[in-house]
Amino acid sequence: MSLHDVSGNANDCEAGVAVQASVQRRKIIMTAVLAFQSLGAIYGDIGTSPLYVFSSIFATGIPTEHQILGAASCIFWAFTIVVMVKYCIIVLFLGPNNGEGGQVALYAKLARTLHVGPRGVVLPGEMEADDRLLLAKSVTHDSQISRMRYRLSGWFEETALPKLLMGLCFFGCSLVLSDGLLTPTTSVLSAIGGIAVAAPSLNNAVLPISCGVLILLFLSQRFGSGKLANIFAPIVLVWLLAIAVVGIINITKYPAVFKALSPAFAVDFLREQGGVDVLGGVMLSMTGVEAMFADVGHFGRLPIQLSLSGIVYPSLMLAYLGQAAYLVLNPSSISNVFYLSIPGGINTPQYWILFVLATLATVIASQALILGVFSILRQMIHIDCFPAFHVRHTSSRVFGQVYIPVVNYILMVGVVLTTVGFRTSSNVTAAYGLGISMDFFVTTTLITFCLVYVYRVAWYLYVPFFLGFGTLDMCFVAAGVRKVPHGAWFPLVVTIVMTSFISFWRWARSLKVDNEFDSRVRVGTIFDGLEKNVDRNAETLVLGRVITTSLFQGDDIEPGRIVPLKELAPGVADEQQSESSPPSLNSTALRLRTDPKVELARMPGVVALLHSNVTQTLHSPHTLPQILSRLLNIFPGLPEHVILLGSRVSDKPFIAEDSRVNVHAMRNMPGFYRCVMRSGFMESGHISDTIMREILTLVEAEGVKSVCHVIENSRVYARRRKFTGRFRILRAGPELARTFMIEQVFSPLDRVFERKRFDEQDKTERNGYDVRVLYIGTIVSL
């Protein structure tokens, strides 16, 4: 090796190190930017809790110095244990699934490991084989992933555990949704209430102003969480620094407040209060932490951990200790300690500055719950457990930043009605906290199951975790139950209604999916002679290219090499046709399995796209959708080219043009193809004229006159059952309820969302051929 070569290698190494350093710097900068943005989207709720926590703990009287220090100690240690240790360290490390957070992510991780997920659903984070490989091979979905699964055994794991996990997931999601109604109401009413402190004559204006602020917040969601975070983050940062400064000023007046950091004060306080009832007020200091976990997909785990531990935690602890110090010196100010503890008093410039900041911060506080609701419902839609509302991705860089228009407006109406119903912040805080504490326990339970089945840790690790955090969570639940007569019944009712609806929807969808799978027919049931002399080793993958198989072995063509289809040597193509039992791809001879056998006529120049479930398209190579048999009953013949089309959305923002469409010619069935169309999450997913031309090229369709999208338009009915016997009336009651829910609730919604997927197809560009949409009606009995 020459000296010049050595010098060149050294320069290459230096260049590689420089590139790696540049990439690392960009990652650090991106993490810092996301951490800053997370301030404006996640911590508004938990950051505005100092507005009402102490007032809620001492709602019935003036506290003593020892009680104030005890309450401050409870806030400090509860926040540290639950928020910092449990969520920041444990949950954010073990909980996220495929970058997403919340109970749905925990369920998806467990269901993927235990192989108990909904049928026909690709769970987030599930490792899949390439579409081309699945199209080329006759394999089943389970055989591809069974080696990755945890083997279940026993009655509990096989029967009870799957239902328990799904039930916990639905219940936890419903708790977050009910919390999404109360959090904006509590935060905004508490902040706007500062007007009444300085100007009591404006007390009646608090409610209408709060409703107006909430409406403006929901209307701004259409701009996306990324843009809103850039606007909100500086405000929340200034707010956190401001309350920290106010806290420091009050602490200097009573430095002995740091005694509250001793857990002995918390224990004594709980003992003096005679139980855990006071924890209902302490619980309010941690509101929003579940939304923080649910919003992981918007910003990522590390940015959230950095912003929480570096800015949010120290600022809030200084604010709470400062309020405790002020209360020790001014215990009669407990009714509105936040505003009264501002240095200088009311109607001063600093008072109104903090009032404006508090108002803006509480508006932003609602943002965390709104984004959490969007994130959770997007995941629920993905696993087919919620109606498929339109989900709009607002960022091409972060997959989890989404906006669901219909849900946004439904939530806006619900929040405004809740605000009008409760009227004052004190009424809301009396009902607030029970749902959050129950959500804590659900998360603890699901994390424990993850430790057992996903991470397979020893029992001496997951048992203390569940007993320790589970016991603390149940103490918060017990304290929240005392609030039921005072308004806590509201989140319970909302949770029960939402859990019932989600459970019903999943049950009905599972029945329909089972019907779709069971109604598929084997090709030999419709066509004659297709199950004879099938060479299962002869596979032709049409991608505008052919992946050669064992039939193409020679000096010029190596097995596995990709060569253009039309550039194959004529001799090789002849050899393929002579040695393989399937007829030529250009043959149009197909016979129906009738008596006598009828040769099926083909319509030249006509291409039919049969839209079907992508899972069935990929993993059922020897079956056909039932819609095809109905198509044969409608038309006297089949189109020249019939394409079974399934579509899927990638977790990448955009898909390269040469990877959008994969097509495979079906064996023994001339003119029949299985096709998978992929689109990025930032793309529309509709079949544009460009994609249509690509499909026609891949199937070698020439002289096309018409393209017809064939779509199943199913109407769901409930199966009628007749009951006899002495108790037939009692048995008929549940059956009538079942019939009503299926036909009057599920069926209309299902038709709307199924039809919506294809409404854009008839808008496809016409470029040399007609494009039509044919809806074929079917009856589905559940």
pLDDT tens-place string over residues 310-348: 999 999 999 999 999 999 998 888 888 888 888 887 778
Instruction: State whether 440 and 525 are in the same domain.
Output: no
pLDDT at 116: 83
The pLDDT of residue 222 is above 80: no
DSSP of 130-198: -HHHHHHS---HHHHHGGGSPPP-SHIIIIIHHHHHHHHHHHHHHHHHHHHHHHHHHHHHHHHTHHHHH
Q: Cα separation of 354 and 349, whole Å? A: 9
pLDDT at 141: 41
Instruction: State whether 319 and 202 are in the same domain.
Output: yes
Instruction: State whether 495 and 609 are in the same domain.
Output: no
Instruction: State whether 601 and 493 are in the same domain.
Output: no
Instruction: State whether 373 and 478 are in the same domain.
Output: yes
Q: Quick count: other Cβ atoms within 10 Å of Cβ 207?
A: 17
Rounded to an integer, the average pLDDT of 414-418 is 87
200 domain residue, yes or no: yes
> What share of the chain in percent tops pLDDT 90?
15
694 domain residue, yes or no: yes
pLDDT tens-place string over residues 570-611: 333 343 334 344 433 334 467 776 666 677 778 888 888 888
Q: Cα separation of 247 and 757, whole Å? A: 54
pLDDT tens-place string over residues 234-261: 888 999 999 999 999 999 999 999 999 9
Structure letter (DSSP) for residue 83 = I
pLDDT tens-place string over residues 723-755: 666 666 677 777 788 888 888 888 888 877 766
For residue 756, what pLDDT band results from cuts at 50, 70 and 90?
low
User: Which residue has better confidence, 640 or 79?
Assistant: 79
Instruction: State whether 451 and 528 are in the same domain.
Output: no
Rounded to an integer, the average pLDDT of 468-484 is 88
Instruction: State whether 458 and 529 are in the same domain.
Output: no
Q: Which domain holds residue 376?
A: 22-116+152-510
The pLDDT of residue 427 is above 80: no
pLDDT tens-place string over residues 623-669: 778 777 777 776 667 888 888 888 777 777 777 777 788 888 887 77
Q: Cα separation of 120 and 383, whole Å? A: 9
Instruction: State whether 445 and 422 are in the same domain.
Output: yes
The pLDDT of residue 690 is above 80: no
132 domain residue, yes or no: no
483 domain residue, yes or no: yes
Instruction: State whether 529 and 495 are in the same domain.
Output: no
Instruction: Show the tokens assigned to 661.
Output: 């469409």
pLDDT tens-place string over residues 360-390: 887 777 776 777 788 888 888 888 888 888 8
Q: Cα separation of 523 and 543, whole Å? A: 23
Cα-flanking dihedrals φ and ψ of residue 154, to 5°?
Answer: 100, 160
Instruction: State whether 462 and 339 are in the same domain.
Output: yes
576 domain residue, yes or no: no
Instruction: State whether 372 and 306 are in the same domain.
Output: yes
pLDDT at 574: 42
Query: 131 CB contacts (<8 Å, ≥6 apart)?
Result: 618, 648, 662, 676, 678
* Average of per-residue pLDDT values in the chain: 76
**CATH code (residue 258):** 1.20.1740.10
Specify the number of domains making up the chain.
2
> What share of the chain in percent tops pLDDT 70?
76
pLDDT at 555: 37
For residue 733, with 0-12 CB atoms within 10 Å meaning exposed, 13-18 middle and 19 or more buried, which class applies? exposed
Instruction: State whether 195 and 271 are in the same domain.
Output: yes
16 domain residue, yes or no: no
418 domain residue, yes or no: yes
pLDDT at 582: 40
561 domain residue, yes or no: no
